[in-house]
Amino acid sequence: MWVEIGLKAAGGILVVATLLPFIPSNSGFIRTFDFPRLQIAALIVAVILGLLIAARDTSGLTLVAALAAALAYQLVCIYPFTRLVSPQAAAAEPESCRSEAGFSIMIANVLESNRAYAPLLDLVTQQDPDLLLLVETDELWAEALEPLRTRYPYGVAQPQHNTYGLMFYSKLALDNPEVRFLLQDDVPSVRTGVTLRSGERFTFFGVHPRPPHPGQSSAPRDAELVMVAREVAAEGGPAVVAGDLNDVAWSKTNDLFQRISGLLDPRIGRGLYPTFNAKWPLLRWPLDHVFFSDDFLLGRIERLPHIQSDHFPILISLCRTDRAPRLQDAPQATAQDHEDAQEAVEAAR
């Protein structure tokens, strides 16, 4: 009896957890349920099996039907980030990519309280990316990372003690690099022009907005992402947006960001590449992202080894080529998307 009651209670909670994100709210509590879709799906399967064994009465079977519908929805959300669909970002063929038009980007949330600096420094040496974006960097991290300046002659830094500091390093020449505070005066972001070895230029945006959680609205995060997306669209040139977005790849905000900006997500058609939480294997989702315009083809995307942070670093290589726009379709915004974007910005202000 108690097993049956427990299974039905768990099933009810899972149905509610699936329905909550449908509520048009910026509540951090509600928006948090955008994150664990894979975990919710796995729990739904377990509860359905339990109910079919222990509670095959009318109420139990009705709950099974509701759970099956919830499972289908969760899987629909995750489905684009599997190899069952065609990749959104086309892969670069080795012969089609000039070496001087290629570059690599590594991003890592180092976890401000993490004082194991060597794993990150060793990984940077091993991977040798052209661009390096590090977030949650404070003054102690800035001091520990000083050796990187010999490897990276260009960059900007904004170390802070509130877990929103950032450091950006580059081997490639930068044009007007700046640290900006788009919405909140303690949450910085980076914007800079980058010149490739080929002489071609693109704009790089490094972001790390505040996450939604119980007691914290998602409005500032959503608005910051929309503001960056609008800027990318208004400029219209080659662009890359990277960082710990504190948003999962399958969220409505992420979809809106892509359609407004027109940027591609290399995860679509390739896999989840979950980067958080590195310390909890059963609770992981993709929070660290690199989006890019259709001016680029994808060389590779790889989740890197653990660096004692709660995030795994991620590495991506891209190639700038005139053929790229013909090989992939950039997301397109509708009139409703622009209305939703405006509402997102107004909600944060």
Residue 267 maps to a domain: yes
Report the domain count for the chain.
2
Q: Are the beta carbons of 41 and 71 closer than 8 angstroms?
A: yes
> Cβ contacts of residue 125 below 8 Å, gap of 6+?
none
CATH number, residue 98: 3.60.10.10
Tell me the backbone φ, ψ of residue 82, rounded to 5 degrees: -125, 170
Q: Rounded to an integer, what distance in angstroms lies between the CA atom of residue 7 and that of residue 4?
A: 5
Whether a cis peptide bond, with omega within 30° of 0, leads into 277 is yes
The residue from 30, 59, 81 where one domain ends is 81
Residue 262 maps to a domain: yes
Q: 189-193: long-range contacts (C-beta < 8 A, 24 or more apart)?
A: 189/224, 189/228, 189/243, 190/133, 190/156, 190/158, 190/166, 191/231, 192/156, 192/168
Q: Rounded to an integer, what distance in angstroms lies between the CA atom of residue 158 and that of residue 190?
A: 9
For residues 198 and 285, state if they share a domain.
Answer: yes
**Structural domain that includes position 55:** 2-81
For residues 195 and 111, state if they share a domain.
Answer: yes
Per-residue pLDDT of the chain (349 residues; tens, 9 = 90+): 778 888 999 999 999 999 999 999 999 899 999 999 999 999 999 999 999 998 778 888 999 999 999 999 999 999 999 999 999 999 998 777 888 999 999 999 999 999 999 999 999 999 999 999 999 999 999 999 999 999 999 999 999 999 999 999 999 999 999 999 999 999 999 999 999 999 999 999 999 999 988 778 999 999 999 999 999 999 999 999 999 999 999 999 999 999 999 999 999 999 999 999 999 999 999 999 999 999 999 999 999 999 999 999 999 999 999 999 999 999 999 999 999 999 999 988 7
pTM: 0.94
Of 114, 27, 93, the closest CA to residue 347 belongs to 27
